[in-house]
């Protein structure tokens, strides 16, 4: 007849098991809070991003206007309305034909064979890339109210 073997004591006592269960519950609660925080962030983020973009656009427009008055108005006229040999920048046709990247390239590198110098630091000018973006933002801000000037390339004055 086989002998009965003694049953070994449980590996973990009850106090240790309760302690582990507490940590498991705390971990689950933390995970739920974390998931809730991510959802709240995801819901709120688009409006925060839109507000920051609008604020940056407003700031860049103001800074760009100052830069334009100091560096560009002499040739392009006040606010780009023309009146000289340089192209009229405050024109519906100008805005329709150029992208922001093209405007930035024109400002940074200048236009060879014309009086338009390179303004970007990379091309020997005095403006940083940020200042070039500010000028571009200022010019683009005038697009909504820009008049039609079909011969904008010749510097015709905008009405």
1 pLDDT higher than 80: no
What would the 3-class secondary structure string for the chain be?
CCCCCCCCCCCCCHHHHHHHHHHHHHHHHHHHHHHHHHHHHHHHHHHHHHHHHHHHHHHHHHHHHHHHHHHCHHHHCHHHCCCCCCCCCCCHHHHHHCCHHHHHHHHHHCCCCCCCCCCEHHHCCCECHHHHHHHHHHHHHCHHHCCCCCCHHHCCCCC
Kindly state whether residue 25 falls inside one of the protein's structural domains: no
Kindly state whether residue 144 falls inside one of the protein's structural domains: yes
Mention every residue, 6+ apart, whose C-beta is less than 8 A from residue 150.
93
Read off the pLDDT of each residue in 128-139 and give the average, rounded to a whole number.
97
Kindly state whether residue 2 falls inside one of the protein's structural domains: no
Kindly state whether residue 97 falls inside one of the protein's structural domains: yes
9 pLDDT higher than 80: no
CATH number at residue 140: 1.10.760.10
Range of the domain at 98: 57-154
Kindly state whether residue 38 falls inside one of the protein's structural domains: no
Read off the pLDDT of each residue in 6-12 and give the average, rounded to a whole number.
70
Kindly state whether residue 9 falls inside one of the protein's structural domains: no
Mention every residue, 6+ apart, whose C-beta is less than 8 A from residue 137.
57, 60, 61, 64
Kindly state whether residue 34 falls inside one of the protein's structural domains: no
CA-only gyration radius of the chain, Å = 33
Kindly state whether residue 42 falls inside one of the protein's structural domains: no
pLDDT band at residue 5 using 50, 70 and 90 as cut-offs = confident
Higher per-residue pLDDT: 151 or 60: 60
69 pLDDT higher than 70: yes
Domain count, the chain: 1
């Amino acid at each position: 007849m086989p002998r009965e073997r003694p049953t070994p004591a449980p590996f973990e006592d009850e106090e240790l098991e309760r302690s582990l269960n507490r940590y498991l519950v705390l971990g689950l609660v933390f995970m739920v809070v974390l998931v809730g925080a991510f959802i709240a962030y995801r819901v709120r983020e688009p409006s925060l991003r839109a507000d920051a973009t609008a604020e940056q656009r407003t700031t860049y427009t103001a800074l760009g206007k100052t830069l334009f008055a100091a560096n560009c108005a002499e040739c392009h006229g006040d606010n780009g309305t023309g009146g000289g040999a340089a192209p009229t920048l405050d024109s519906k046709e100008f805005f329709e034909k150029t992208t922001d990247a093209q405007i930035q390239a024109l400002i940074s590198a200048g236009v060879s064979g014309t009086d338009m110098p390179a303004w970007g630091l990379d091309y020997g000018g005095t403006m940083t890339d940020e200042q070039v973006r500010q000028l571009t933002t200022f010019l683009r801000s005038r697009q909504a109210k820009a008049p039609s000037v079909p011969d904008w390339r010749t510097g015709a004055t905008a009405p």
